[in-house]
Amino acid sequence: MDTLQHLIKAYIGAYIATLHSRQYKPLDKHWKQHKLELLEKIKRQEQWHVLHDLCILMLYYGTSIHAQALCDLIIEDVIRRYDGKIQLKIYQHGPDPDRYILIDEETAEILDEYLSLTEPTQIELFRNENNQKLTPQDIFLLSNKYPNEGLVSELSGFFPIYSQSDYEIIPTPLRLNAVTRYTGKGVTIAFLDSGFFPHPDLIMPNNRVLAYVNIPDPEDDDFGKPQDNCWHGMQTSVSATGNGYLSNGLYKGIASNANIVLLKATDRQGCIKTEYMIRGLKWVLEHHKEYNIRILNISLGEGREESYLDNALNQMAEALWQAGVVVVVAAGNDGNSPDNAITPPANAPSVVTVGGFDDKNKLSRHYYDMYHSSYGPTIDGLMKPELIAPGIWVAAPILPETQLYKEAEALSKLARLSDSALPEAVAEQLEDLPFGSDILKLSTEEIRARIQHKLREQKIVGIHYQHVDGTSFSAPIVCSIIAQMLEANPELGPRRVKEILTSTTDKIFNIPLERQGFGLIHPRKCVKEAVNDRYRRGLKRFSSPFVEGRKVTFYFEHAEAQSIALAGEFTDWKADREFLTRIPNTSTWKLEKEFPFKGLYAYKFVIDGKNWIPDPECENIEPDGFGGWNTRLNLFLE
């Protein structure tokens, strides 16, 4: 092996090791010098094909670009941004939108050297040794020549190794180091919120909004009208499921291919009433199978504490859970207030309640701290939230067709102009700017300072976005990760989803457990566990009770019991009327029962005629009057 190949293998090894460390930092000075020596040696020996190969290897190893997409690249797909960084436009076959991948600074420098040597007439970015279009087989052979020590599968989809200062606001998938393979495709998330807008990140190039329902006023089709009540729901839905259409893919959500159902809960007077929220949840209960709604996000809540046992909103949320819908609720933002409390529906026992954390917009765990999210115990003594997710520094869109949208667009473009062009451009666009005519009397330096101040004040990033905060955005981020899990394994039920979420978290040091619950969500572990469940032994089923209309399936696990009876208000608490049947060669007992009327029913299981216990797979319980607990079954459909 010659010296040049040794140099390349050493450099590639250092590059991969840096990616593997997940520190998102450039290579150290030693390897920078190593790279310069490598480039000098290539030039001196005129080994231009080696530079060609090095470019391919770094793109193949350090990005999520698949071999075929790499072969399809043309020189025009190399896009230089205003800040000097390089993006590659990746053509997507089929209905999916093209992607734009930001190239890290190490690869960008190598790519620049390579492009300086390409022929002016060359169309394809890369060609093989026969001067023909590159093929995946060529890349395979090249990867064998410079082996990557088995790290490709682990590194695939990592973000570029820039520092966080290279992003105005760190994109959510990068912030959480989320898996990029799963994007929620085929999964529908419903959002119950104040109002919505058909943002391009949701409807372009393909409209993923399956339904929009104005709960207080179903006859008023106001979707598409930029009203004051639209921005909150638009931002929560896009932060989870947006595809980054207006940011060339930079500010996309983790579930960027999920389908969406939007439920507006604000009436014409601007009021959000508990009645509307309950009707919204009931609509999901009635239509979840039609739209394949597997997840419901609620970034709303009541303003007062109340026991989940007596609260209709909580019990409707429990009904959805029993019907197979994962309900995720924002904890609230009163953690530093005397009014701190977990209120309905966030205090329902089964739902996943999400608090917020603050990473200071940095990629190091050393900066992690809590956001001022609400926390328990609840009025019923339950610990909430179950887990935490980003609660601040979240990129979300500005509502189109509004004055702020126009101002953000104008300010962002002005901020990028040269000093010589800035004053004239400000004069031309003055009517779209939040300044008076006195700004024209200022120096160029003062004008630029005013513009930068206004951008910071309005939290504007990326022209059409701003950074937002609140657990209203923590909850949708968790929903987007659940969508990844369900895409990876559609057989997961709500109870198993919650088990995975809470068993794979990372604890944040020095933060009280009551504030962070089980800890910070870990997307990669969640998806890995969801995938692993596909191959684990055991019966694939939803938890007990599983409700389909008024048909209910009860399950109970017991390997040694001789009989399992179902007793409740519907049997006059007699333990000799309804019996579960054991599934052969398993420890699972099962009973399917049709109920004649809707309502709330209390029940227990009776083991061998003497041991009465609540359903261990259901958290919706109530006191039985004898110092124990009954399980509550929620049937709300006619």
Catalytic residue annotation: 193, 232, 472
The DSSP annotation for 134-179 comes to --HHHHHHHHHHS--TT-HHHHTTPPPS--GGG-SS--HHHHTT--
d(CA 198, CA 421): 35
Which residues, other chains included, contact 538 with Cβ-Cβ below 8 Å and sequence gap of 6+?
A: none
Contact 386, 497 (CB under 8 A): no
Q: Are strands 551-557 and 259-264 parallel, antiparallel or unpaired?
A: unpaired
Q: Taking phi first (over 0 means left), then psi (-120 to 50 degrees means alpha), and beta for anything else, what does residue 635 get?
A: beta
Instruction: Determine if the peptide bond prior to 338 is cis (ω within 30°).
Output: no
Q: C-alpha angle with apex 168: 165 to 170, nearest 5 degrees? A: 80
What are the backbone dihedrals phi and psi of residue 343, each rounded to the nearest 5 degrees, phi first?
Answer: -110, 165
Q: Taking phi first (over 0 means left), then psi (-120 to 50 degrees means alpha), and beta for anything else, what does residue 573 get?
A: left
Which residues, other chains included, contact 208 with Cβ-Cβ below 8 Å and sequence gap of 6+?
A: 202, 241, 257, 258, 259, 260
d(CA 195, CA 92): 32
d(CA 196, CA 209): 11
User: E-strand spans in 312-441?
Assistant: 326-330, 352-358, 369-370, 387-390, 394-397
Q: Taking phi first (over 0 means left), then psi (-120 to 50 degrees means alpha), and beta for anything else, what does residue 67 get?
A: alpha
d(CA 245, CA 258): 14
How far CA 320 is from CA of 279, 316, 369, 596, 620, in Å, comes to 12, 6, 33, 19, 12
d(CA 271, CA 200): 27
d(CA 568, CA 605): 9
Contact 148, 13 (CB under 8 A): no
Other C-beta atoms closer than 10 Å to the C-beta of 45 total: 12
How far CA 234 is from CA of 72, 260, 391, 400, 465, in Å, comes to 35, 11, 17, 10, 12
The DSSP annotation for 7-69 comes to HHHHHHHHHHHHHHHT---PPPHHHHHHHHHHHHHHHHHT-HHHHHHHHHHHHHHHSS--HHH
Q: Dihedral sign, CA of 272, 274, 276, 281?
A: positive
Read off the DSSP letter of residue 570. Answer: G
Which residues, other chains included, contact 260 with Cβ-Cβ below 8 Å and sequence gap of 6+?
A: 188, 189, 190, 191, 202, 208, 209, 210, 237, 241
d(CA 142, CA 53): 7
Map tokens 């939290």 to a residue. 459
Containing H/E element for 450?
Answer: helix 444-457
